[in-house]
Amino acid sequence: MYLKHALRAATALTFVATAAAHAQTITIATVNNGDMIRMQGYTDKFTEETGIDVEWVTLEENVLRQRVTTDISTKGGQFDIMTIGMYETPIWGANGWLVPLDGMSEEYDVDDLLPAMAGGLSHDGTLYAAPFYGESSMIMYRTDLMEKAGLEMPEAPTWQFIREAAAAMTDRDNDINGICLRGKAGWGEGGAFITVTGNSFGARWFDENWKPQFDQPEWKEALTFFVDMMNESGPAGYATNGFNENLSLFQQGKCGMWIDATVAASFVTNPDDSTVADKVGFALAPNSEGVDKRANWLWAWALAIPAGTQQEDAAKQFIEWATSKDYIELVAENEGWANVPPGARTSLYENPNYKDVPFANMTLESILMADPQNCCAQPTPYTGIQFVAIPEFAGIATQVSQEFSAVYAGQQTVDEALAKAQAFTAEEMEAAGY
Amino acid sequence: MARAVTTRRKSLNTILAWVIGLLIFFPILWTILTSFKTEAQAIASPPLFLNFDWTLENYAIVQERSDYMRFLWNSVIIAGGSTILGVIIAVPAAWAMAFVPSKRTKDILLWMLSTKMLPAVGVLYPIYLLFIRLGLLDTRGGLVVVLMLINLPIIVWMLYTYFREIPGEILEAARMDGATLKEEILYVLTPMAIPGIASTVLLNFILAWNEAFWTLNLTAVDAAPLTAFIASYSSPEGLFFAKLSAASTMAIAPILILGWFSQKQLVRGLTFGAVK
């Protein structure tokens, strides 16, 4: 009799436990881009495998940043997984706001993550976010226009060559601009581009004592070069052009060259959207003659678990699934190798199938060349290439990029903008206690 | 002759009104047109106006990716709830200010309006922390209260303006006939101010429908309204203009229809008391 009751109770408990397992739901905040949306489409497979339901909160990048920062800093607990970048991860990791991603399974093969990515998403050697996809920046150029100009793109060109090629490819009568680059204000938009341009001219944001460096000749040279080249060969109104505006121009055949995120390569070579899909070549981002740092950045969109979540195990399970080798295989099988999330795992670039993708090698080379611990030709006290990994940076860089955009729009001179940038940055850093 | 000039002026005014109207409406029209283009057509240069292959593909994708009805329902509850609650609180407040003003009434009105000048982000953290404590994050009830508080100054101001147009003697007469305060407000004042109340309700419903700071920052899944639905299609890295336009069209469609059917009341209410 007792045994019967015990069995009944055990069965009931099993049902309850199973139902509870099936009812488990994790909430993920993420950005709206092709790879993330694709992942959402495969979420059912994860649910089938684990019984864990997934709720997505998809937001525009800047809205997402504000939203998750508010939530994590107040311990709001709205999300079990957050999509964050290389800028936030080390800062939040250091604050104890993220769950360390140690103890991942053997099959996950954490050592397969590209060292540059794993390094940029760690603090004190602990991984706090798993890279879903990574990117650097590189040159995308029109092979037909380059040929018409009688030039040949080296694999690793200098800024001086780029300026010469841009002038030769510019054809104002046919609405073709030799070069399209970001000028839009915002630390992640034009601010990121002018920072890496500065790096490639030997400039840096701060010296070893956190003193701003906008009053140094390298910044003046970089900014003057950029403005002169864009005035000669860039599109009208480039001061308001960001990634999307340049992507649109390039896809319409209105740019000879475009230097931007490596993920753009899959867009410009997609014949469904791009009118120049079969005429695109790739090269490393340029440097100024005599400077050994190139104008390429390093970024990753990564998945992290906020400390205090009630669903840590389920969240870890999802991160293992979404950033695994198997997930890459799943996407390749269904949508082709050109559509797999790039830039996160070494094994992807060893895969013979992926090597056939035209931009794969240049993407990897660009990523490997970027070193967040050693961004600049001169020593710096910070990590990060197109950003400085301190909490104050986003606010300061947004203001500085606004000053630079005003130069691009012809509203002030290079000297005026640099003087304002120097004064503002010095004031903010002093106020922050540096 | 004088009649001819008047007719000409009338025609000119009509044309001018149409031109201004079309200019104001053009961004909405362009959004609607873009929603029927492919992503490549959406960024075509020169832009394509009507000569493109119309497609419903974007609507299908948006429908497949997002649960539109859930977002819509949340928007209706949040915008409707905050408006109704706001009017319930604002009618007595506006009555007091219009019919039994004190020395400080004008100051109070100005102070109320001044709260609209505070940048919302300045109080984001305090309100977020309060919401955590009260368990109101990602709830429709919490948003109803916040949006009501945000729009309350406008509701009170609008109702105050309308109420001032109503002769106080009528209310006095009602009182002399034995009406209580509640009856005076409910059965005498409110029916007379219906056009004003209707336009206030409409305007605040639209304001609450379009509110995109608090609705994005205080919601995640359960209470996310149409503003969150649109935000999920905006991207700085990737061209999703056609899909974003389809999502925007779906988000503004209900309010456009509401505005279309109630435009008479809206105009009447907004111009109420403008000409004596």
Tell me if B158 is assigned to some domain: yes
Looking at this protein, which amino acid is placed at residue B179?
A: A
Tell me if B143 is assigned to some domain: yes
In this complex, do B239 and A267 lie within 8 Å of one another by their Cβ atoms?
Answer: yes
Query: Residue B186: pLDDT above 80?
Result: yes
Q: What's the rounded Cα separation, in Å, for the pair A122 and A196?
A: 22
**Measured between CB atoms, does A76 come within 8 Å of chain B?**
yes
- Environment class of A370 (CB within 10 Å of its CB; exposed 0-12, middle 13-18, buried 19+): buried
Q: Exposure string (b/e) for B27-39, b if CB count within 10 Å is 16 or more?
A: eeeebbbbbbbbb
Q: What's the rounded Cα separation, in Å, for the pair B215 and A381?
A: 40
pLDDT tens per residue, range B59-82: 999 999 999 999 999 999 999 999
Q: Are B108 and B146 in contact (CB under 8 A)?
A: no
Helices A393-408, A190-200: crossing angle, 10 deg rounding: 90
Residue B94 belongs to what H/E stretch?
helix B68-99
* Closest alpha carbon to B197 in B66, B84, B63, B75: B84
Tell me if B37 is assigned to some domain: no
Q: Exposure string (b/e) for A391-423, b if CB count within 10 Å is 16 or more?
A: eebbebbebbbbbbbbbbeeeeebeebbebbbe
Query: Residue B191: pLDDT above 70?
Result: yes
pLDDT tens per residue, range A334-373: 999 988 999 999 999 999 999 889 999 999 999 999 998 8
Q: What's the rounded Cα separation, in Å, for the pair A168 and A157?
A: 15
Tokens of A261: 């995120």
Q: Is A380 helix (H, G, I), strand (E, B) or coil?
A: coil
Characterise B171 by phi-psi region: left (phi > 0), alpha (psi -120 to 50), beta (else).
Answer: alpha
**Measured between CB atoms, does A7 come within 8 Å of chain B?**
no
Q: A61 to chain B: which residues are within 8 Å by CB?
A: 235-237
* Closest alpha carbon to B131 in B119, B122, B144: B144
Q: What's the rounded Cα separation, in Å, for the pair A391 and A301?
A: 18
In this complex, do A70 and B137 lie within 8 Å of one another by their Cβ atoms?
Answer: no
Tally C-beta pairs within 8 A across A and B. Answer: 92
pLDDT tens per residue, range A15-59: 444 444 456 999 999 998 888 989 999 999 999 999 999 999 999
- Closest by Cβ to A78, choosing from B137, B232, B233: B137
Q: What domains can be seen in chain A, in order of their start residue?
A: 2-135+299-355 (3.40.190.10), 137-296+390-431 (3.40.190.10)
Tell me if B130 is assigned to some domain: yes
- Environment class of A323 (CB within 10 Å of its CB; exposed 0-12, middle 13-18, buried 19+): buried
Helices marked H in B211-240: 214-217, 226-231
Cα B1 to Cα A100, A266, B12, B13, B194, distances in angstroms: 86, 69, 17, 18, 43
Q: What's the rounded Cα separation, in Å, for the pair A69 and A64?
A: 8
Q: Are A162 and A288 in contact (CB under 8 A)?
A: no
Q: What's the rounded Cα separation, in Å, for the pair B159 and B166?
A: 11
pTM for this prediction:
0.86
Radius of gyration of chain A (CA): 24
Tell me if B60 is assigned to some domain: no
- Closest by Cβ to A70, choosing from B45, B217, B234: B217
pLDDT tens for chain A, 434 residues long, are: 455 555 555 555 444 444 444 569 999 999 988 889 899 999 999 999 999 999 999 998 888 989 999 999 999 999 999 999 999 999 999 999 999 999 899 999 999 999 999 999 999 999 999 999 999 999 999 999 999 999 999 999 999 999 999 999 999 999 999 999 999 999 999 999 999 999 999 999 999 999 999 999 999 999 999 999 999 999 999 999 999 999 999 999 999 999 999 999 988 998 988 999 999 999 999 999 999 999 999 999 999 999 989 999 999 999 999 999 999 999 999 999 988 999 999 999 999 999 889 999 999 999 999 998 899 999 999 999 999 999 999 999 999 999 999 999 999 999 999 999 999 999 999 999 99
Looking at this protein, which amino acid is placed at residue A282?
A: F
The ipTM estimated for the assembled molecules is 0.83
Tokens of A16: 């309850």
Total tally of structural domains belonging to chain B: 1
Q: What is the pLDDT of residue B264?
A: 77
Q: A66 to chain B: which residues are within 8 Å by CB?
A: 217
Give the structural domain span for B157.
66-232
- Closest by Cβ to B128, choosing from A32, A63, A74: A74
Q: What is the pLDDT of residue A305?
A: 97
- Closest by Cβ to B129, choosing from A74, A188, A251: A74
Q: What is the pLDDT of residue A429?
A: 97
Q: Quick one: closest CA in A to B41, which residue?
A: A273
Question: B210: domain CATH number?
Answer: 1.10.3720.10
Q: Which residue has the tokens 């490639």?
A: A200
In this complex, do A251 and B43 lie within 8 Å of one another by their Cβ atoms?
Answer: yes
Spell out which chain B residues touch chain A, with contact meaning CB-CB distance below 8 angstroms: 39-40, 43-45, 65, 124-125, 128-129, 132, 137-138, 216-217, 220-221, 224, 228, 231-240
* Closest alpha carbon to B225 in B58, B62, B32, B67: B67
Q: What is the pLDDT of residue B271?
A: 67
Q: In chain B, what percentage of residues exceed pLDDT 70?
A: 95
